[in-house]
Structures are given as C-alpha cells and as structure tokens.
Structure 1
Amino acid sequence: MRTVKNLNRMKATIIPLFFFLSLSLFAQTSIKVVNSSNLEPVPGVFISGAGIKNTITDNLGIAQIDLTKSKKLNFSHIGFQKLTVEILSVQDQTIMLKPTTNDLSAITVAAFESDRPLLQQAGAVSRVLESELYRFNETSIVNAFNTKAGVRVEERAPASYRISIRGSSLRSPFGVRNVKVYWNGIPFTAPDGTTPLNILDLSNVQNTEIIKGPAGSIYGAGNGGVISFESRRTIDENRIATDLNVGDFGLMRYRFGIDQQIGNGGISASYVHQKSDGFREHSAVDRKVFQLAAHFNPSDRQSLSTQILFSDLHYQIPGALNGTQLEENPRQARPGSKDQNSSIAQKSVYGTISHQYDFTDKVTNETALYINTAEFENPFILDYKRETAFSYGGRTKFTRDDHLGMFPIRFIAGGEYQYGYTAAQNFGNRNGQADTVRFSDDLITTQAFLFQQIEIEWTNKLLMTLAFSENFSKYDINRSVDASANEPSRNSRRFDPIVIPRLAMAYQLNPRSGIHGSISSGFSPPSIAEVRTNEGSINLDLEAERGINYEVGYRASYGIFNVDITAFYFKLSQTITSFTNEQGVVLFRNAGSTNQRGIEASVDYAPWRNQQAWIQEVKFAHAFTGHYFEFADFVSGGNDFSGNQLTGVAPNTLVNQFDLRFMPGFYLNFTHQFVDKLPLNDANTVFQESYHLVNSRLGWRKSLGKGWDAEIYTGVDNLLNEVYSLGNDLNAFANRFFQPAPLRNYYGGVKLGYSF
C-alpha cells in the first residue's frame, strides 16, 4: 500500500516536471502577421532566423515556431516591407507589416512639412523608393528619377548632374539650380543656390520625396520644386554588408558597410569607391564617399541623429560637340578639353545633427543643424577656377495640433538660415595648369526665411492649407584682385524681402480616392554663379524669377490600380535664361515671361501577386509627362522669340516599366522611355531628335539562412543602342549642343550580407 502511494507521489512530481521540460525544449510560439494598414491577416509570410527553418504563415496569417529563448526573426513577403523583430519565447505575438505596394490610401508622405496620407496632400508629390533605385545600374539616381512624371535628371558627363522639374533646367548650363534639395532634414542646397548632388552615393539615400512646382511657402527659394532625400535612420539589427559592381568603360564600384545596435539606437558606417574610364574620351570619374551616422532615442519623447559625410570626387569634362563631330565620333571629346585638363576636383565634409522633441502630445519640435567645408578646383578650356568654401545653417519647425472650435487644426511655424563664405580665384589655364590670376573674390551669401502654415479640417473629408513665408537674401562680392583695367571693388546685392503665399485644398471623395487643388507663388533669385560669371563680369542687375502656379489633381486606388493625375499652369516672369558669348562663356539674362502648361499622369498595377506561386509577382507602371511650355514675351538681340517652345524641354515623355519576381528568388526589371523632340536654342532652329531608351536588369536575391543573404545581378543600359544626349548645352556658341550619352553597355554585380 505504501509502495503504491510512493508511486503516485512520484507520478505527481515527474509528470509536471516532464511537461515543463517539454515546454522548455519544444516551446511553441504562435505568431500572427497582419497588414498594418487594415489589420487583416497576411498569409504566405516567410519567417526565418538563426537556427530556424523557413516557416510560412497559414491562411489566417498564423505560424507556430519552436523557440527555447528570445530570438530575432526576419519576416518577408512580396507585398510588404521586410521586417526584423525580436520574438519572446513562449509568448504569442502579433507582427504588423507595412505594405510595399503603392496603395495611395496607405501611403504617408512628409511633403509640405506635414505627415499625412498622400490622398490628403494638395500638391504634386512623387516618391522614389529604395527598391526603385536598385532597379537599374547602381551608379547614379538618373534612371530611377527619370521614371517619375515631370522629373528629368540629366548626366552630361559621369557625375555631372542637372535636374529639371517642370522645365527648371533652362537656367542651368551645369549643376543643380532652381531646385531646393534637403538631405536628412538639412538644407543640402548651398546658400548661393547651387547643390552638390554629385557628392552623394546611392547608398546615402534610402527614400526620396519630390514636390513638383513652387513650394516657397515652406521651403524658400526655387520655382522648380523640392527634393528631400532620407538615408536610413533605423538600425534594427547588427549587420555587415559588401557590394561589388563592374561594367563597361572600366566601371567598378565597391561598398562596405556595418550597422551596430546600441541600446534602442545604433551606429552605422559605410565606405563606397566608384570609378570608371567613361564612354567618351576624357570622361573618367573617381568618387570616394564615407558616411558615419548615429541614431538614438534618449527618451520616449525625443530622438537624436548625427552624421558625418566625407566625399572626394574627381571627374573629367569632355565638353559638348557640334552635329558634325557627333556624327563622326560620339566618343570624342571637344577639341581642347583634354589638353586643358577640363575637369572638376571637389572634396566636401558635412557634419549634421538633428533633434526631435515632443513637448506634449500636441506640440513637437524638429531642429537640424549642419556645417560644411569644401575645396573646389575646376580647370576649364577658357580658365582655371579654385574655391575654398565654408558654410553653416539650420532649420527648425514647431508643430501644434489643436482645435478651432469644432474643427481640428494643425499649426506649423519655423525658420531656416544659411550663411556661406567662399574664397574664389580665377586664373588663366595653360595646358591644364593655373596661370596668372585674373581676379579674386571673397563671396558671402546669406539666405533666411520664416514660414507659417495652418491646416484646417473643415470636415473629415475636406482639408484646407494656408501658408506663407518671408524670405531674405543677400550677396556680397568683394573683389581684391582684378588683372583687367578695373580697380578692386566691393559689390553687394540685397533682394527685397519677398512674401510667398500658398492656398491648397484636398477633398477625399471616398477612402480610396481624392481631388486636390492649389494656388502657390514661387521665386528664385539668381545664384552667385549667375551674378559673377567666369570671365569676371558682375551682373548686379539680374532680377529674381517670380511665378505663380495653378494646379488641380486626382488620385485614386481601384483594386490593383493606382492612378495619379495632375494638371497645372505656371506663369513665370523675369525668366532667367542662359546664352554663350563669342568667347564661349556662359552668361545669363532675364528673358521676359513664360507660360508653362502641363499634365502629369502615372498609373501602376500588379495583376498577379502570389507569395507561394512560382511566379510571385507581375507589376506594370506607366508615367506620362506633357509639358507644353512657351515664351510668352521674350525679345533678345532684336529677335522676338515670343511664342517659341521653351528651350530644352521635351513636349512629351512616356515611361513604361515591367517587373517580374519568381519563387526561387529571381527577378527581371524592364524599363522603356520615350523622349520627344526638343529645341536646343531659343530660336527653335536646332532640335535634338526623339529617342527610345530601353534598360533591363536580371538578378537573383535570396536569404541563405543563419543570417546570410546574397544577390547576384546583371543588366544592360540603352539596349537599342540609341545615339542621344543625356543633357544638352542650350543656346551653345559654335553649335556645340550635344553631350553624347553611352551606347549599349552592360554591367553586373554581387552583394553579400550577414546579420547577427
């Protein structure tokens, strides 16, 4: 009897102990994955991690995983952003994935300094996602940006960019002007109005938002629009990654990057070296970029980020060709370019810090500061330029959410300030070496503005925005050396304070569609490079451009289809245009007014998406740009160009994209672009012919398990072998209009990453 009782006691002890040990050794965690935009379950999500075999969620979005301790798991699905989360053992959890589809009802953008769904934004806004940057050769932003309606990025030579948003490149013989650029919240456009976009590598950009048309009410000067670049701000895993990309014309690009989590933040570092010999004679490029970033959340109410960016860039300038030279040999350089070592060498360092603080649940502040130094050297056929620049500045913004009676309101107010000093010297150029000094200037530029914006929700469907900014700018040009007959002089130009208003309305027809309209003013003072030209003249009479833009648009998501259409009319006065004198020097003048009418439309759709099928996804995207711009009133040199088509702007552009993704990890991207015939001079007597550009990329991307992932890809640019210019010289002297782009060329690469 006693033996039976002892056996019963042992059973009572052993069975629970065995059960506990079973849970410890085979602890099952139930994970449910849902769509963050509508909380619906997501079937077919692949879940992986160190020591975990690939697991797939069922039709209810649920997966059971054996965990003995907390572990980081990766969640991936064809229609959602990849996510890495630390999962607690023996604790059921719900994971929310963000859709990667362009469902307009689920997209939130920060345009006009207000984080709102795209359907509530009353303006033409385009996004360039990180995945879109990597549909092409990974050497520049050009191809990805050129898939967006109304946006045109040109590369006259490798690393020599020119950006046109709605024809804004008319006054840009080189470089980026008349477009305001931000990088991680700091003004990346220099105080003098130019933007060193070519110092950034593709790895320094994760996502981009583009506002098309004047946005001076909240971003200051620039009639073309605003580009806001964001690099990665969240470090959610420890990771080491390396890339290698090679291609025709001696192309080689390699990158090494590391991310390290520290508490609830982390640090990251990357180094990229890219070089090539170039398609044309004397068009080599060599760029090294190092970025170090740290991101932390000191408390629940604040976040802090700081970055250092160093860029060492050198590229050769082959120069423009005339029609005869283009036909003879598009790969040749302009005579004299090589002998004079026409090129640019530029070293830049940016230091930035940004801070966000929530004072209350209704009041927040975001402040970003930067400091920049740069050394610039530019031997050219006609002269030799050296500059040493120093600048600093910042931007702050306060946001308050409140009520005006029964109506929710959001009030935004802040300011931006930039100061720049440049010691600039121009020499003669003797066989690529600096000769005697011609003139030397100390250039001081200050730009500042205050902005205020109020958003009123009159109903849950109708949002009104009213915004103003007060803008101030000044140039000081102190000439200490002048080898001509002129005496040294002090020159100053202060532009009268300019008030820029904007009124916008957005109305949601239903949860998945909406209309919007706006009236916005814009202005753009001449950059210091336009006031102080390379031959030594100082044109203090050059006036700021002023314009007003009327715009209406419609956005909607219909099942698998997303549609975005915008029509606008932009009236620009005191238009600044470029021309070339008999010595080949580019000069500038105010050219009366222009009428710019346009329509921009895009549609994308995914007729097939199945995570568990062999063909996982089929996607199409189309973008049409119709820019019907003309000089309204322009008389120059006794010639009346009124009514002529605006120089350098193609009336029609069409982009078609086709993407395939397969279960084994293979993908295929195909892009076709048509660019219409466009005038190269104000008289409309010389045109670049229309052309079709076709690019394609084929690759394999896979998670290899145990923290490893890899990608192998190959691609072709200009598949049809078209002869065309990716950026022309406008109103060029001696008919040197053409900057030939590469013919058919191939590239390939490999990527390897390890997460731990």
Structure 2
Amino acid sequence: MYLHATRLPIKSTLSCLIACITQGIYADEPGTEEVQRLAPIVVEVTRTDRAALETPASAYYLNPPEQRSMNVNLSETLKGVPGLQLNNRENYAQDLQISMRGFGARSTFGVRGVRLYVDGIPATMPDGQGQTSNIDLNSLDHIEVLSGPFSSLYGNSSGGTILTQSREGQGPDSVTLGYSGGSQNKGQTNLVLQGGSENASEPSYVISSSYFDTNGYRDHSGAHKVLNNAKLTWNLDDGSKINWVNNYVKIDADDPGGLTRPQWEANPKQVVGNVTKYNARKEIEQVQTGLTWNKLINDQHELYAMAYAGQRSVIQYQSTPKCAYVDDTDVCIPNTIQLGKKHAGGVIDFDRNFYGTDVRWTGKKVLPNLKLIAGVAIDAMTEERKGFQNFIGDTQYGVKGELRRDEDNTLWNADPYLQASYNFAPDWTLDAGLRYSNVHFKTEDHYIVGENGDNSGKTTYEKLLPSVALSWKIIPDAMIYASYAQGFETPTFTEMAYPADGSNDTLGLKAAESETYEIGLKSANRFGDFTAAVFHTTTQDDIVSAGSDGGRSTFRNADKTLRKGLELSWSKDLWRDLSAQASYSYIDATFDADIPAIGNVEAVAAGNYIPGIAKNQAFLSLGWKPENGLSAGVDVRYSDRIYVNDTNTEYAPSYTVAGANVGYNWSVKDWSMKTFARVDNLFDKDYSGSVIVNESNDRFYEPSEGRNWSAGLSLTKAF
C-alpha cells in the first residue's frame, strides 16, 4: 500500500501537526514493505459499526487486560480515557463519581449526565440516574466510551456514554475459582462458569458470582457486596442471535461522609459525630433481566430488538441531625432541620420498577454508499418513595422514625431516532442523526400534613436533538472530522426531591440544553495510535449543585455555562509484549453568567469555575503483557486541583499517584493459573480523591487511601 504521488500536493497543505503524525507511514520508494497491522477494532457505540480510528467522534475501545487488580470498581478498568474523570470515593454507599467533559460532576451519589449500558441494556434510569454497581468486571469482555456531540444519539442525559460488554461463552466448559485480597481487609471470592455451544438449540453461557467485603479505609466505611451475572447466547440457524442477560446485586455499606479541610489534615480516617450517631448507611438490592436479538435479513437489512425489566430497592440512613441546637447545649431549636414543617426526614426509602425496549432497523447500501438506521427507544419507571425521620424520641438514632414523605412517581419516554452515514466521495463521509427526546414526569403526593401541602404535579421535557459530522480520510491511516450536536439533560427524580429554596415546587427545575462543536484528528502509524479533539460546549439552564447538608443534596439551574477543552491520547506496542499508553485532558469549565442568590444559597459570579471538575488530567502507563509467563506494569495519574464550591473559595489540591503490578500466568493441558500483586498510591500521597460539591457544612473532602496493596490467585479447569 503506497501513497500516490498525484495526491501529495493536496495533502501537503495540511498543518504541521498532521504532517508530523502521519509522516513515515508510507514511502514513495519502490520496494517499501507495507507495515503489518492487526485487524482494526470496530466500535458499536455510534451504531454504524466502523473502525475506532474511522469513527468521526471521540470514541474509545478498551480491552480489559488480564486481571491485575481486584476487579471490584470500574475505576480499575477505565484508566487513561481522555475527558473522563473517574473518582473512587472510598465509599461503597455512594458509588463512583464519573464525569465526562464536566457532565456529571455535580453528582453527590450515583452517576448523572453520563449514560451507562451493560450488554446493550440501560444501567441508567430513564430520568438520567445511573449506577455502576451492577457491572461485573469478572466477566467483562470490553468497554466502549463515547464523549462529545454524538453522545446525543442516546437521548436524555448523554453528556457521554459508556457501553460495557460481557464475554460470551466459548470453547469447552470450564470453571474458574478466584480469590483476591488487600489492604483494609478487602477480600473478594469469585466463581465463573462458562462454555460454548456447537448446536443452535443450546446456548453458550457465562455465569459469574462474587462476594466482596472490606472494613474500609476510613472509620465507618465497611461494605459487603454480592454480585451475580449470567449471560446466555444462542446463534440460531436462521442467522439471528439472542443474548439473555440476568443480573443481581446486593450492597450493604456504611457511609463515612465528608470532612472539612482541618479535619482531613488532622486525621483523614475520621468521621464527624453525626455519622456514627445516626449510623449513616445504605442498603441496595437490584435485580434485572434483559434480552437482545439481532437478525440479518440479507446483506442489506438488519433488525435489532432489546427488552429489559428490573427492580431496585434502596434504604439510606443519612447523617442529617434531628434539629439545630442552642450553642453549647443539648436543647433542640423548634422547627429546625428534621423538625421543620417541610423536611422530608433523614431516611430515604424507595422501591423502583423500570422497564423498556429499543427496536431498530439498519439498512446497508439501500442507496449506493448510504447506511440508514431508524428506531425507537421506550423506557418507563415507577417509584414508591418514602421519607422517615432517622430517630425516635431522644434516645433512638439511626432508625426509621415518623413518616415525613410518601409519594408515587412515574416517568416514561418514547424517543424515535434516525441516523444516516453517507460515503459521498472516496475519502469523505457525512454522518447525521436526529432524535426526538421526550421525558414525562408525574408525582402523586400522599403526605399532606399541615404546611407540607400537596406536592403532586406533572411536567414534560422534550427536545429535538440533531447531530452531524463530516470526516475526511486524508490518507488510509489518518482522518480528520468536524461535528456538531445539541444535547439535553433532564433533572432526575432525586434532584427534584429537594428544591434549593425549600419550597414545595419539586417540578420547578428546568432541563439543561447544550450545543457542542468538536474538531478531531485520528491516526494510526508506526509511531502508534493517536487521537486529538478540541471541543466547545455551551449549556443553557445547566443543572448545578445548590448545596448538600447531611446527605441531602439540592440543585438549581445555572443560566449559562461554558466548557471548552482539548483531549489527546496515544498508545503503541513498543516491542514484543511491551506496550505504552498516554493521555491528556484539558477542560476550562466556567459559569458564563451570574447566578443570583436563592434562599440561603449564595450568588455565583460569571467566570467562576464549575466545581468538581479537574482542569488538567494526565495518565501514563507502561506494561509487559505476555499471554503466559511473567507480566509487570506501572502507571502514573495526575489530576489538577478541583474547586469544591461555586464561589471557588476552597479546592482539593492537585495530586500525582503511581501504581505498580506484577503477575504470572501459567497454563498446562486443561489447567491454567493466574496471579497478580499490585501496589497503589506507591509513594503514599495524602490526597482527596473525590469531593462533595457545595457541602453546606464545608465537609467537602473525601480522603483517599494511602499506600495500599492487593493480590490475587485464580485457577481455571477446562473439561
């Protein structure tokens, strides 16, 4: 494969950056040998099934390496993706903090602003509230990450999209038994059964089960977690394929909450008195099932359908105090905090049922060089939400007390969407998408007592979401693209639950509407795989934190916000089994207009940084990763300072942490063994790995663990 001389004059007009990246891929001299390459990695996240380096979006494909960590948190796997900020809170009651280009940074628990999918099935509720706790890393095959404009293809709350895919059973039946442990009495036992199938009537299967527990790094941060995942796959004689996925997760976790800066500096393991007094904790139980079906009608037409249903129960005991006290006494001040007439209590108790479907048709070459996709996604959720005081009288704390909230919530959406990919010239492709996103909220208030009036109501958020991208393949292994899209993010039911001004208007939050422009470059050559993207996002009515007190978080709309930045990534197989990876992200996220004061919440000046977002991030790793034998690796991660409040008066300092791992894989006949040992925070850095944005008592900081270790062993027997 050669670069044609007749095309060189046109290509020479490109910038020096592109020239530097692409130089040396091909040669003009006769006899130059083609650089040997592996088959390109195809990503499905944009639904057009193109090679990652030909997709006109910030899309990344991650093959999980052989186990070199405990496989408990998604933060162990999602490393080095530019634009992705993933904070391990050392708090299993609140899940990870995930934000993408700043979307989702406001979340004090769970994942918002970023859509999550497991085997094509949503792990994000229709209102935009998601969680990573049901993702089984022990049976994971790969992860795809999509950020930037084309995330709007997934509708509501798609500041970014993360798709995880479980393995399918292959080859002979086998059983894997593993155990890993580490600092803070961490321990995980896992069992994986898998096998392929040669008959269409019999499924291949992967069944995974694990139990994890820990005492926790901080006081009052212990946790127990049971996770079961099963995936059955049928490849039928008519060419269709069915996946049936079942998942169960149960978590019991203490919640240590945050610390003020002096408390963190004095003792990062401590918790404040109310945490233990009210025994702050959370109990989660979720079960989910889903089916996906693919059918190739012929070489031009393909059908896809997905259906899912699930149930989630949560009981959260917050550290919210009973009342405010007269200074230096135990005398409660009447009508304060939970004794206030409108307070919903310190115990959140809800049961949620969710279900939905996604059906689409794909037409390949219906017209020359044109691919069309048309579908509809329907999701629904019903919720019974109650609130109780977390005390009884003056002697019992951390228990269910008097009822203070009782409501039924309903939500549904029906989003039709269209996509087209048109290769209108040999090196040019136009991609476009259109989705009509509509989300319907309804609440029925059954707790109408005194001044706590009827909070019932309903509202609808809707928006037409266009997206478009133009890409140009400069040479066979390099392309540039430009894209534009509009985004849409509704408030979640949890964000609606507590108005910032203390009123009853729980449906008063507006949906955030954004516009994003992006220019990108992708290249694969003898110097490695390289991507670069520059983006500019403006958001109207952005949903931002308005304060968090004792676990009760409130939110409000910011008139205008601005996010702009740069993302770079590079990876290369250096020599034999030695590989390297590096990434860098820069994001300038600011309030673009003044926000007036509301109730006790301070005004915010235009130009202030949006809290919870690191301006600069960088990652570098080097690994020796043979299939068998000795493996080893090191990685280094840098995160810039993170402001913790809208007024930018305090921040979590920047930090650099390093990790190292070593392992050994051994196989003989029907047996294989894998071992690993790992040290994280190698140089014992004292840092706050996550923050609680706008915490009303200045307890912003969630300290991270110092130097810590983990090790594990797994044995596999094939039959």
Using structure 1 for the length normalisation, give the TM-score. 0.82
Which residue, 118, 128, 132 being the options, matches 1:193? 128
| CA–CA separation in structure 1 for the residues paired with 2:167 and 2:474 | 34
The residue that corresponds to 2:55 in the other structure is 121
Q: Does 1:723 align with 2:686?
A: yes
Equivalent residue of 1:147, what SS?
Answer: coil
Q: Does 1:295 align with 2:233?
A: yes
| CA–CA separation in structure 2 for the residues paired with 1:398 and 1:584 | 44
Q: CA deviation at 1:752?
A: 0.6
Larger radius of gyration: 1
**Cα–Cα, structure 1 residues 310 and 558, in superposed 2: closer, same or farther, change >3 Å?**
same
Aligned CA RMSD, in angstroms, stands at 2.1
Q: Does 1:392 align with 2:355?
A: yes
Task: Indicate the structure whose relative CO is greater, using CA pairs within 8 Å and at least 6 residues apart.
Answer: 2
Q: Is this contact kept in 2: 1:170–1:578, CA < 8 A?
A: no
Which residue, 704, 709, 718 being the options, matches 1:746? 709
The residue that corresponds to 2:271 in the other structure is 333
Report sequence identity in percent.
Answer: 22
| CA–CA separation in structure 1 for the residues paired with 2:126 and 2:625 | 44
Q: Does 1:146 align with 2:79?
A: yes
The residue that corresponds to 1:653 in the other structure is 617
Q: Does 1:517 align with 2:482?
A: yes
**Superposed counterparts of 1:26-175, under 5 Å:** 106-131=40-65, 134-159=67-92, 160-175=95-110
Q: CA deviation at 1:300?
A: 4.1
Q: Is this contact kept in 1: 2:148–2:518, CA < 8 A?
A: no
Q: What letter matches 1:427 in structure 2?
A: F
Q: Is this contact kept in 2: 1:215–1:222, CA < 8 A?
A: no
Q: Is this contact kept in 2: 1:439–1:536, CA < 8 A?
A: no
Aligned residues: 645
The residue that corresponds to 1:370 in the other structure is 308
Q: CA deviation at 1:480?
A: 0.6
The residue that corresponds to 1:465 in the other structure is 431
Q: CA deviation at 1:223?
A: 4.2
Which residue, 437, 440, 446 being the options, matches 1:480? 446
Q: Deviations over 1:687-740 (max 9, x none)?
A: 11111111111110121x211110111111111111112210111212111001
The residue that corresponds to 1:10 in the other structure is none
Which residue, 420, 428, 433 being the options, matches 2:389? 428
Q: CA deviation at 1:447?
A: 2.0
**Superposed counterparts of 1:663-702, under 5 Å:** 665-702=629-666
The residue that corresponds to 1:353 in the other structure is 291
Instruction: Spell out structure 1 runs of 4+ moving beyond 6 A.
Output: 101-105, 581-584
Equivalent residue of 1:530, what SS?
Answer: helix
Which residue, 514, 519, 524 being the options, matches 1:547? 514
The residue that corresponds to 2:11 in the other structure is none
Q: CA deviation at 1:345?
A: 0.7
Q: Is this contact kept in 2: 1:563–1:601, CA < 8 A?
A: yes
| CA–CA separation in structure 1 for the residues paired with 2:468 and 2:626 | 47
Equivalent residue of 1:337, what SS?
Answer: helix
Q: Deviations over 1:354-406 (max 9, x none)?
A: 111112221111111001012111111120111111111011121001253xx
**Cα–Cα, structure 1 residues 437 and 102, in superposed 2: closer, same or farther, change >3 Å?**
farther
**Cα–Cα, structure 1 residues 536 and 191, in superposed 2: closer, same or farther, change >3 Å?**
farther
Equivalent residue of 1:566, what SS?
Answer: strand
The residue that corresponds to 1:256 in the other structure is 191
| CA–CA separation in structure 1 for the residues paired with 2:583 and 2:90 | 26
Q: Is this contact kept in 2: 1:157–1:317, CA < 8 A?
A: no
**Cα–Cα, structure 1 residues 102 and 188, in superposed 2: closer, same or farther, change >3 Å?**
farther
Long gaps (5+) in structure 2: 2-34, 321-345, 392-396
Using structure 2 for the length normalisation, give the TM-score. 0.86
| CA–CA separation in structure 2 for the residues paired with 1:740 and 1:188 | 28
Q: What letter matches 2:288 in structure 1?
A: Y
Q: Does 1:570 align with 2:537?
A: yes
The residue that corresponds to 2:14 in the other structure is none
**Cα–Cα, structure 1 residues 211 and 102, in superposed 2: closer, same or farther, change >3 Å?**
farther
Equivalent residue of 2:277, what SS?
Answer: coil
Q: Deviations over 1:461-485 (max 9, x none)?
A: 2111111001111111111114452
Which residue, 310, 314, 318 being the options, matches 2:248? 310
| CA–CA separation in structure 2 for the residues paired with 1:343 and 1:539 | 25
Which residue, 372, 378, 381 being the options, matches 1:417? 378
| CA–CA separation in structure 1 for the residues paired with 2:703 and 2:515 | 35
Equivalent residue of 2:138, what SS?
Answer: helix
The residue that corresponds to 1:597 in the other structure is 564
Long gaps (5+) in structure 1: 1-36, 38-100, 610-616
